Chains A and B, each alone.
Chain A
Amino acid sequence: MYEAVYAHPDGGSTVARQALTAADSGYDGIVVRNHGDEQADYDTDAVSDAYGIDVAVGVEVRADDPSRASGFVGNYRNDRTIVVVHGGDRRINRFAVEQPTVDVLAHPMREDGDFNHVLANAAADNGVRIEFDFGPVLRSSGGSRVRAIKELRKLRELVQDAGAPFVVSAAPSNHLQIRAPRDVVAVGETIGFDADAVREGLAEWGRVAERNRERQSDDVIEPGVRLEDSDRRSDDE
């Protein structure tokens, strides 16, 4: 299972500390999803080797309007394993679910964002994963938390009905906000999620990372065409 984290300077802990804590909590990997304007400087292999946890390089594209967001997605698509779009604006949500090159639409209900069956169906058609952001459930209280739980329920019903893919994250912006997978599952169950669905959502980050790494590897020439080991050997001869 994977957690998608914000790291310093977008959060309060470095990539290495997030990775160490996530490994300690029982995750198999992390996705570094810093916003485009607050990128972290880190060595993926060094962190991954030191703490025995996979580190996937991601980015969260934040833009005010769809055309700028589209430009950013295009720029980042080739050198990032996971491209997330910072949701929470109706036009941005709409843009993200209609772009097959986007991996994840993050927190679509935040601020004045909203979601409906049309967007859910588009997300299912284009294979864009919808994020269930557990951050506010874990860290806020009172009215804002009630609203967050209510919105998660609405989103869950829409995503389930459309059969859209989804991911789950606690969106930790420092290492103290990381919660162990079992604890996240327990919280999910109390707010109406199916335990297996939460586990699936945490594991989905890892599957996206694996799929995109394969697609971006040198072996893949174009969709459907890949270099097999046997082809390469005949080249050498």
Chain B
Amino acid sequence: MKHLPKHLRPRWRYLAVGIETWPNASFGRRAFQREVWYAAQNLLGDTGSAETDMTVLQFHDYEGTAEAIVRTRRGQTDPARAALACVDSIDDDEVRVRVRGISGTVRACEEKYIRGPPEATEQRHVVFENADRGATVRPPRYDVETASDGPFVGATALDFR
């Protein structure tokens, strides 16, 4: 179809989203997109969901963390923020979602808020509550396995001094 004239094209805002999860979680862009749609529809309803029109444009998956760029319509950034805050799990993996910032262009969003891969995690043995445990470590964060393959306890370097 023919391009719309410039003044009739929708104006977008780009939300940089940071995602943190447990080390054994795995999900991709599609799963995140689905959860974003569900969250928007559940919190804002069909009209609100259509109004915010959220699309996951980029999704970078790293071990235990991820970052994404979510597009929404200009003027709808507050409802979009609220819907993203209500994403508490992706494919049954618990997640923390945080809006790092909002930009007017994808490039600005990438340059300001997308940090790229964090340091690689390493496996260590730690003593937690007088027991030998495996931990996935990305200093200063320690995710301690209390049984094999979860559940985890979130800790930091301070807990192992």
Question: Is residue A93 within 8 Å, beta carbon to beta carbon, of the partner chain?
Answer: no
Which of chain A's residues 145-196 have a Cβ closer than 8 Å to chain B? 145, 174-180, 182-184, 186-187, 189-190
**Pick from B20, B43, B84, B151: contact of A183, CB under 8 Å:** B84
By a CB distance below 8 angstroms, the chain B residues around A137 are 86
CB distance from A51 to the nearest CB of B (A): 8
Write the nearest CB–CB distance from A33 to chain B, whole angstroms: 17
As a 0/1 sequence over residues 63 to 93 of chain B, the CB contacts with chain A under 8 angstroms (1 = contact) are 0000000000000001101101110100000
Give the contacts of B38-83 with A (CB-CB under 8 A): 42-44, 78-79, 81-82
Selected from B21, B79, B142, B158, the residue in CB contact (under 8 A) with A190 is: B79
* B141: contacting residue among A12, A17, A180, CB under 8 A: A17
Task: Report if A50 contacts B (CB, 8 A).
Answer: yes
Contact between chains at B141 and A20 (CB < 8 Å): yes
A13-B154, A16-B155, A17-B155 as given contacts; A187 in contact with B96, CB under 8 Å: no
Decide: A180 and B79 in contact? CB cutoff 8 A: no
A25 within 8 A of partner (CB): yes
Q: Which of A16, A20, A175, A187 contacts B82 (CB 8 A)?
A: A187
**Given A14-B159, A137-B86, A180 and B154 touching (CB < 8 A)?**
no
State whether A179 touches B21 (Cβ < 8 A).
Answer: no
**Given A13-B154, A14-B154, are A177 and B96 neighbors across the interface (CB < 8 Å)?**
yes
Known contacts A182-B81, A187-B86; is A20 also within 8 Å of B156 by CB? yes
CB distance from A118 to the nearest CB of B (A): 33
A139 contacts which of B20, B21, B88 (Cβ < 8 Å)?
B88
Contacts of B86 in A (CB 8 A): 137-139, 187
Which residues in window 116-158 of B have CB below 8 A to A? 140-142, 151-156, 158
| Distance (whole angstroms) from the CB of A68 to the closest CB of chain B | 29
In the complex, are the beta carbons of A183 and B96 less than 8 A apart? no
How distant is B108 from chain A, measured CB to nearest CB, in Å?
A: 19
Q: Which of A14, A176, A182 contacts B156 (CB 8 A)?
A: A14
* Complex Cα spacing A96 to B78, Å: 35
Interface residues of A in 24-67 (CB under 8 A from B): 25, 43, 46-47, 50
Given the contacts A14-B155, A17-B141, A138-B86, A186 and B81 also touching, CB distance less than 8 Å: yes
A46 touches B158 (CB 8 A): yes
Known: A139-B88, A186-B85. A180 touches B155 (CB 8 A): no
Q: How far is the CB of A97 from chain B (nearest CB, A)?
A: 30
Judge whether A21 is part of the interface by a CB distance below 8 angstroms: yes
Cross-chain contact B154 with A12 (CB below 8 angstroms): yes
Give 8 A-B pairs besides A25-B98, A180-B98 with Cβ atoms closer than 8 angstroms.
A16-B159, A47-B158, A176-B94, A183-B82, A186-B78, A186-B81, A190-B79, A190-B82
